A and B are shown apart, each in its own frame.
Chain A
């Protein structure tokens, strides 16, 4: 391209002397000429006015040049600068408004900036160049020292020489001027990913974090994913933002670091649960990790938020194909699908447990990004909890190992505390796990800070729990304070319980690790280990701290020790592999000789991990296990009934499902999810009063359960109690504003409410609605009698959904998709009857695809044709003007074509004064 232009320019100079023949200054010639260079010359002559001025010809020539080469330099013209007047008014007002708000913002920011005391940031600033010899400059002895006193001027040649001298000292230096190697700058490993932000003000942090993110974006655009990663990490180290996590996840995906990407997505969704990008990226990651079901769930969530997200649709297709391939070998997957539909909470828990297991290693690698420091053991413990109940359901991603290890891991104190953290994460959903051990349950409730912890006196226990809570919230500095207080208090109180002190130290170490304070982390871990040699968590944390300090040998030893205690910790395996590589690079093949001694872990410590806590606690633990065993049996039956129920729901056999759920409730009357599920069945069976009762029961157990609210809303709607219904829906939306169905339902109900109120106002129809509202929850018999009526109402309602006249394309689309999802051509016909034919193309254009078209055709054919052929003709006459229609036609398959032909045949058979046979024929030509 550029060469061509340059040639063109050169020629221009030549041609100026040799003239362009006048004949060439002609429309025909210019039209035919394809040589851009020559045309540019012609243009130049024309513009110069040497041969006379022909504005139209100049214009014509310019256009032709533009057609051939839109970037031609001849087209560049000096333009006067634009002013406010040259922009559309609203655009300009927007710009000036933005600018003004920016001005005020800046002014306010400046005042703030001035009020702040000036921090001396001296210790973080690198020393003055040359005044403090750094490592690489030591060898350059004489020259460098001279420089300190008076930098002597140096010629360019000296500079070169200087470089060569230093060369030998700088082993790691890549830049070699005299070797015949290309210097490719790969800077990413050298970019510092953690920044000192302690002395920065909030405002500065925002500015910096944004800039680092921009840098990351730019690097990402050019394909330097590793560099982008480094900058995103920098941005996050200054100020964690959703966008930066999201972008880092994308960069990790590009680098195929699935686990890291997953943990980043997780972070995004923690901060913003309905982030479509985050969900989509997590779906991608899950797909690559082989967790197809989880991926499908995420994609569905995305489609829930953005129903027209093309990428999500594509991904979903891909996934369902993959799933179809997989199903035969993994029947468990299929079962999960139905669970997803009826009981999200359950699912979420499993997600978490499974994610935990899959992902723990990655999180650890990411340098303790979550409470990961806490190691696989705990994650698995939690997974065990989740798995006890569903029993044999979660054999997917996590692999079977969690199931068998579950009860081994639940009883030791550190686990309990970890459980508390998990409990906090799981929030309400954890609440219905009532039959867990007492203490565990206490800790799972959200704000119970007074929960006992080991043998600690209540005051210290409280401090510790507060610390845990702060840690969970990411306030690591505060958590450190709490733990430190607890530790101080411990020594004063004189309690004899080394395990607890060990835990406190270990927890504080986790905080330090999260804060990037590796050396303090190491100190704490060491203390903790002195108290309780060979505890898993402190060892792991110390290993990570060593690793982040690049003291790989110590880290290696710690990881190895960890593996001796529990061979199953994937993170440790990964780290050992990674460190081994590092050490080989660093120390060469004899790296092992330089290692400190790896301590032998006594068998007792190993057993300590595998089995139960020793001696004193053993009896208690056994008893506990026995009760758990019993609970588990009950649970197994419960689960069986429940999954049967779910199965029935899936098959649409609601009656049977109700039976099963009732069985479940006999076993466990306090299970909220069962109530909501049974309520769903009742709603489906149009037994609204019972549904309402179940929802009430569920809400009594869990006052914030949005599903219960939603189903009660449906029940109320069925009972025609629109007011209660809308209150419930509003409650749902308050709890979670992203529930699209609730919103839609609410709109409908408000409409219905208005209608019913209007009806009440007009005396003639008022009577009809009154009896229905009265019956709702009192007499069983009345309800039975009512059942038929309500059912009738329900059907009516279904129609009334469709027949409200759509005011815009969105409403039309909603109504159409509702009709389509029920395959209800009558509703569609009704809808079409209400829509003016002129507006149809604009309404339909965004939703138009082959299926929709066929559906509309069928509706027209089946319902409208015999009653209103004129309308059908009008619709057809306008429909083909919709956007992309011709494209769509080309892609139609045979069946649909046949359907269309049929419609036109029918249409032409109809006699009408609105159109003639010829008209129909003409129209048919446009379609077929």
Chain B
């Protein structure tokens, strides 16, 4: 247990107002720069690159694009190239070379409707295997793309003909610990969480958490899947222990009602998989730590192994804004540094202290 003095503190290092609605922000790996993505009032899309420089944000580059940009990821690019993959309101997937952003390196009309969420794996040294991008869209489909293959996805997951299509709000990669194994987790507006196994091309597990799933994230993408956090519309989040899958009960989980409103985002600390931050609809941030149980699996009444969930501890909570915090990203290079954007049209660089002591 940490004493109050030893508690991590969340500090706003830099705050900057923007003249557009910002949806997503991502650190550029191996740099002190990040990209914000959003939508100008005139209806066009925008990407801005900021660099932190002695306590100030310097605008390095502004790129305007015809369609508002909803989400982006660096997950499928090499550290040398650092190409940003984005999804926009029109359902397009683009990959940009931020040095030469006029023409996308890769482009595809991925979905019929807005791309809500995007994630990448296989790049940046995170995850063995091919670089792949997964997109989830309002049209109800989840598609996996390989930047080396034009026009068609390498995997497509959608409901059968006739079934109502649910809005897919969030996607995430995980379990990429060797060349073959890889999973995609998708969360839907009706509370469904589906875990697709890309190796077997099968639906490995599904559950429903009753409220719309705003964000899912594996604690680490590139390990044998360990934990999954899913946040919901009604202020709860669930942590699933993915090590032991019971044939009927599935994965064990613990849930926590953390926020009074929607939990928009969850992001695990890149340097410690057991610490994660949730961002709420009321402009607040909660920093959590997952504590493992003494035994992670036990036998049930029929002598079948089942998982045991641990507990979550609140390390710190702060209120940043009155508006929802829509995006949050930890710096992969500097522990404790993170950037978040809120619907009050501002971007904030935060420092979380003492993370190595919790």
Contacts and interface: CB of A to CB of B under 8 A. Distances in A.
The DSSP consensus for interface residues of chain B is loop
A129 B198 contact: yes
Contacts of B178: 187, 190-192
Interface in B174-227: 177-181, 194, 196-204, 206, 220, 222-226
A491 interface: no
Contact of A87 (B11, B30, B148, B311): B11
B317 A182 contact: no
Nearest to B310: A222
A62 to B, nearest CB: 14
A393 interface: no
A129 B130 contact: yes
A121 B9 CA distance: 42
Given A84-B13, A129-B154, A214 B130 contact: no
B128 A192 contact: yes
Interface in A141-193: 150-160, 162-163, 166, 170, 173, 175, 177, 179-188, 190-192
Contact of A155 (B126, B131, B163, B350): B163
A130 B319 contact: no
Contacts of A83: 11-12
A207 B29 CA distance: 10
B153 A151 contact: yes
A154 B157 contact: yes
A124 to B, nearest CB: 10
A126 B130 contact: yes
Counting chain A CB atoms within 10 Å of each CB, the highest count among B198, B223, B319 belongs to: B223
Contacts of B223: 187, 215, 219, 227, 231
Interface in B209-262: 220, 222-226, 242-247, 254, 256-257
B273 A87 contact: no
Interface stretch (A21-29, A99-107, A686-694): A99-107
Given A99-B337, A102-B334, A158 B160 contact: yes
A110 interface: yes
Interface stretch (B35-43, B63-71, B75-83, B102-110): B75-83
A106 B154 contact: no
A243 to B, nearest CB: 14
Nearest to A78: B319
A80 interface: yes
B181 A215 contact: no
A107 B156 CA distance: 40
A489 B90 CA distance: 67
Contacts of A107: 31-32
Contacts of A73: 257
A447 interface: no
B160 A155 contact: yes
B313 interface: yes
A79 B282 CA distance: 12
A262 B11 CA distance: 45
A918 interface: no
B125 A180 contact: no
B243 A184 contact: yes
B137 to A, nearest CB: 13
Given A155-B160, A159-B201, A82 B318 contact: yes
A155 to B, nearest CB: 3
Contacts of B101: none
Contacts of A9: 257
A175 B223 CA distance: 17
A128 B180 CA distance: 11
B9 A86 contact: yes
Given A130-B155, A181-B304, A184-B305, 8 more contacts: A82-B9, A84-B11, A113-B80, A118-B81, A129-B130, A183-B244, A184-B245, A219-B223
16 contacts: A78-B318, A81-B285, A82-B11, A87-B353, A99-B13, A106-B30, A106-B333, A118-B81, A129-B198, A153-B158, A175-B202, A182-B245, A182-B304, A185-B244, A207-B79, A221-B274
Interface of B: 9-13, 30-32, 52-55, 78-81, 125-126, 128-132, 141, 144, 146, 148-149, 152-161, 163, 177-181, 194, 196-204, 206, 220, 222-226, 242-247, 254, 256-257, 270-274, 284-285, 292, 296-297, 304-306, 311, 313-314, 317-320, 333-334, 337, 350-351, 353
10 shortest interchain CB distances as A-B pairs: A155-B160, A187-B224, A163-B202, A182-B305, A183-B245, A129-B154, A81-B318, A106-B32, A208-B125, A103-B32
Interface of A: 1-2, 9, 71, 73, 76, 78-84, 86-87, 91, 95-96, 99-100, 102-103, 106-107, 109-110, 113, 116, 118-119, 121, 125-131, 134, 136, 150-160, 162-163, 166, 170, 173, 175, 177, 179-188, 190-192, 200-201, 203-204, 207-208, 211, 214-215, 218-219, 221-222, 227, 231
